[in-house]
């Protein structure tokens, strides 16, 4: 909200956030490191092939819905990443766990994709 005291007017914006594909990698910690690494590389290749933006925080990968949910679910099912689970979560539930630059990466990239490295942050559990 932006308030202009002189004019006594306010600008209020409501933003409807897209759903987010939340990929949980924590089960990979129970297996051999080489399997975990291979699974993460495979996942990165699959997401990159789709040109989907992603933010990695702790043991979770956050990917905004940029295509139909059925398409994203199909990509995940087709690759059948053993030890990797995922769910679609409303953006409003995810945003409290993101830093501002991560929120912009997930919700502000409507104009296409760009290549950029997201800083790693300690993971937080979703409620």
Residue ranges covered by each domain of the chain: 17-107
In this predicted model, what pLDDT tens digit does every residue of 33-49 receive, in sequence order?
999 999 999 999 999 99
- Nearest Cα residue to 90 out of 23, 24, 22, 20: 20
pTM of the predicted structure, to 2 decimals: 0.73
- What crossing angle do the helices spanning 69-79 and 33-49 adopt, rounded to 10°? 140
Supply φ then ψ for residue 81, to 5 degrees: -70, 100
- Residues 104-120: pLDDT tens digits? 888 885 444 444 444 44
Coil, strand or helix: which one is 54?
Answer: coil
Which of the four pLDDT bands, split at 50, 70 and 90, describes residue 93? very high
Cα(52)–Cα(32) distance, integer angstroms: 28
Pick among 3.30.70, 3.40.50, 1.10.287, 2.60.40: CATH of 17-107? 3.30.70
pLDDT mean over 18-46: 94
Strands 60-64 and 20-24: antiparallel
């Amino acid at each position: 909200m932006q308030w202009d005291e002189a004019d006594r007017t306010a600008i209020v914006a409501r933003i409807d956030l897209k759903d987010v594909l939340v990929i949980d990698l924590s089960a990979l910690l129970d297996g051999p490191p080489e399997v975990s690494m291979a699974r993460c590389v495979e996942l990165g290749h699959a997401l990159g092939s789709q040109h989907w933006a992603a933010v990695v925080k702790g043991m979770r990968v956050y990917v905004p819905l940029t295509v139909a949910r059925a398409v994203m679910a199909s990509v995940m099912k087709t690759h059948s990443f053993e030890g990797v689970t995922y769910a679609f979560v409303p953006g409003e539930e995810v945003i409290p766990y993101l830093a501002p630059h991560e929120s912009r990466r997930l919700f502000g990239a409507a104009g296409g994709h760009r290549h950029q490295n997201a800083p790693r942050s300690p993971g937080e559990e979703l409620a």
